[in-house]
């Protein structure tokens, strides 16, 4: 599923491409990633491999944030003993590293993770001075890729690019992912769109949970809440952490109703319109009439489905038994949804089958 997310979902893939492109310009980057970044390791490998393929001359490595002073750490770990001995107080470590040709920073991409809050301003200060010093001395600066969950830790500066993953992604990306994943899941063909809408509507905050629910599509359709609870208790995320279902479970009924409104109301209205067009002459015979809201109805196309059902049952509009049953199904579904009740899976499937014919 990670290949679908990072390769085929346009905005997720664009994030990776633009990070690689910015890194190749020798500007340092701040990557603001949410705590539940989908398939984090897959994203990391794609960026690393992309940089290696396009810039084989420079190496790539990943380090945790140094606990000591940042400039001192890079002086001690990326300079020869001779260079370390050349350093004199009066210059900052960043200035010295930026003018030194004999250190290992200039031909590297360095990904830094686990940056604590108190280190944010220190990193910005170091990068600003180091990059300026490199350029003054005609050297290509090393590229730092700083990973954080909090954008506010870092002040925006020239030549430091910010990439906030959540600003790239939209609800449509989660739906597109679920739609693509539906082709690989086992459930009835006529329910796959409904499944994709339902999973993306309920689990939109977590693409990995979307993938897991899509994988168990039939069970999810039968009982979304129980399936999510079971999967979250048994399965783990790609990084080994646990899924959390508490917040999702609070909103399941509302999410199901919204999906059913989105998918089924257009089907109901399309059926109502087609029914009116087929029986317009008979319907015109009972117009005008006053509806339940004490409003006068003169136009056949404004006749509500409840009134159509009454006209069918009273014989004022001639319908077959089968058509009368369909009309009753649509009326019942419309009334439930209008009063914020959800339909069961059997009713949803029946409406989708009927609706596909109109």
Which 3 state secondary structure label does DSSP give 316? coil
What per-residue confidence (pLDDT) applies to 157? 79
**Residue 161 near residue 175, CB atoms below 8 Å:** no
Q: Give the residue from 180, 177, 181, 148 showing the smallest Cα distance to 165.
A: 148
Q: What average pLDDT score do residues 253-270 get?
A: 93
Where are the alpha helices (H) located in the chain, listed in sequence order?
Answer: 2-3, 10-24, 40-54, 70-78, 81-86, 93-99, 120-136, 165-168, 171-182, 192-202, 207-215, 217-222, 224-234, 246-250, 252-278, 280-284, 305-313, 321-338, 345-355
| Rg of the chain on CA atoms, in Å | 30
Kindly report, residue by residue over 74-96, the tens digit of the pLDDT.
Answer: 999 999 899 899 998 889 999 99
Q: How confident is the model at residue 125 (pLDDT cuts 50, 70, 90)?
A: very high
Q: How confident is the model at residue 36 (pLDDT cuts 50, 70, 90)?
A: confident
Q: What average pLDDT score do residues 264-292 get?
A: 90
Q: What average pLDDT score do residues 6-25 get?
A: 96
**Residue 162 near residue 32, CB atoms below 8 Å:** yes
Report the alpha-carbon distance of residue 36 to residue 41 in Å, rounded.
Answer: 12
Q: Give the residue from 139, 147, 176, 181 showing the smallest Cα distance to 163.
A: 147
Q: How confident is the model at residue 288 (pLDDT cuts 50, 70, 90)?
A: confident
Q: What average pLDDT score do residues 202-217 get?
A: 92
Question: Percent of the chain scored above 70 by pLDDT?
Answer: 99
Q: Give the residue from 297, 315, 299, 304 showing the smallest Cα distance to 272.
A: 304
Report the alpha-carbon distance of residue 215 to residue 199 in Å, rounded.
Answer: 11
Helix (H) or strand (E) segment spanning residue 100: none
Burial class (CB in 10 A: 0-12, 13-18, 19+), 293: exposed
Task: Give the pTM.
Answer: 0.86
Q: Give the residue from 190, 250, 242, 243 showing the smallest Cα distance to 224.
A: 250
Report the alpha-carbon distance of residue 234 to residue 354 in Å, rounded.
Answer: 37
What per-residue confidence (pLDDT) applies to 158? 77
Kindly report, residue by residue over 144-198, the tens digit of the pLDDT.
Answer: 999 998 877 777 777 788 999 999 999 899 999 999 998 888 788 889 999 999 9
Between 157 and 30, the higher pLDDT residue? 30
What per-residue confidence (pLDDT) applies to 70? 96
Instruction: Give the position of tokens 């479970």.
Output: 249
What per-residue confidence (pLDDT) applies to 89? 85
What per-residue confidence (pLDDT) applies to 162? 92
* 107, two tokens: 């031909």
Lowest mean pLDDT, pick from 37-41, 247-251, 333-337: 247-251
pLDDT at 257 over 90: yes
Q: Please measure the distance between the N-terminal and C-terminal CA atoms of the chain and give it in whole angstroms.
A: 34
Report the alpha-carbon distance of residue 263 to residue 342 in Å, rounded.
Answer: 12
Map out the domains of the chain as residue ranges: 2-168, 170-250, 258-358
| Average pLDDT value over all residues in the chain | 91
* 349, two tokens: 């499937």
Half-sphere exposure of 335 (CA within 13 A, CB side): 10
Q: Specify whether domain 2-168 bears CATH 3.40.50.
A: yes
DSSP summary character for residue 103: B
pLDDT at 254 over 80: yes
Report the alpha-carbon distance of residue 71 to residue 99 in Å, rounded.
Answer: 13
What per-residue confidence (pLDDT) applies to 353? 87
Kindly report, residue by residue over 215-238, the tens digit of the pLDDT.
Answer: 999 999 999 999 999 999 999 999
What per-residue confidence (pLDDT) applies to 358? 62
Q: What average pLDDT score do residues 230-259 get?
A: 89
What per-residue confidence (pLDDT) applies to 55? 93
């Amino acid at each position: 599923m990670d290949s679908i997310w990072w390769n085929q979902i346009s905005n997720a893939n664009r994030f990776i491409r633009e990070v690689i492109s910015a890194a190749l310009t020798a500007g340092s980057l701040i990557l603001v990633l949410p705590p539940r970044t989908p398939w984090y390791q897959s994203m990391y490998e794609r960026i690393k491999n992309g940089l290696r393929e396009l810039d084989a001359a420079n190496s790539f490595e990943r380090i945790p944030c140094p606990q000591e002073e940042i400039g001192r750490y890079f002086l001690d770990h990326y300079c020869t003993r001779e260079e370390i001995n050349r350093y004199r107080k009066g210059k900052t470590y960043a200035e010295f590293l930026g003018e030194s040709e004999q250190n290992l920073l200039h031909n590297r991409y360095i990904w830094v993770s686990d940056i604590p809050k108190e280190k944010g301003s220190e990193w910005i200060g170091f990068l600003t001075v180091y990059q300026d010093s490199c350029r003054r001395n005609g050297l290509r600066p090393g590229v730092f890729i700083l990973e954080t969950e909090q954008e506010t830790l870092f002040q925006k500066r020239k030549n430091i690019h910010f990439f906030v993953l959540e600003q790239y992604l939209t609800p449509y990306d989660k739906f597109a992912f679920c739609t693509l994943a539906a082709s690989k899941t086992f459930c009835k063909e006529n329910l796959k769109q409904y499944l994709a809408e339902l999973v993306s509507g309920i689990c939109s905050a977590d693409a990995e949970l979307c993938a897991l629910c899509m994988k168990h599509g039939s069970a999810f359709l039968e009982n979304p809440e129980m399936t999510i609870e079971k999967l979250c208790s048994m399965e783990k995320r790609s990084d080994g952490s646990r899924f959390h279902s508490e917040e999702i479970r609070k909103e399941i009924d509302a999410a199901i109703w919204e999906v059913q409104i989105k998918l089924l109301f257009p089907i109901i209205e399309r059926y109502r319109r087609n029914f009116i067009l087929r029986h317009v002459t008979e319907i015109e015979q009972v117009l005008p009439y006053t509806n339940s809201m004490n409003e006068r109805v003169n136009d056949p196309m404004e006749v509500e489905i409840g009134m159509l059902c009454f006209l069918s049952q009273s014989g004022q509009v001639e319908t077959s038994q089968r058509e009368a049953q369909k009309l009753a199904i649509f009326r019942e579904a419309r009334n439930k949804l209008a009063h914020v009740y959800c339909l069961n899976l059997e009713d949803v499937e029946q409406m989708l089958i009927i609706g596909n014919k109109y």
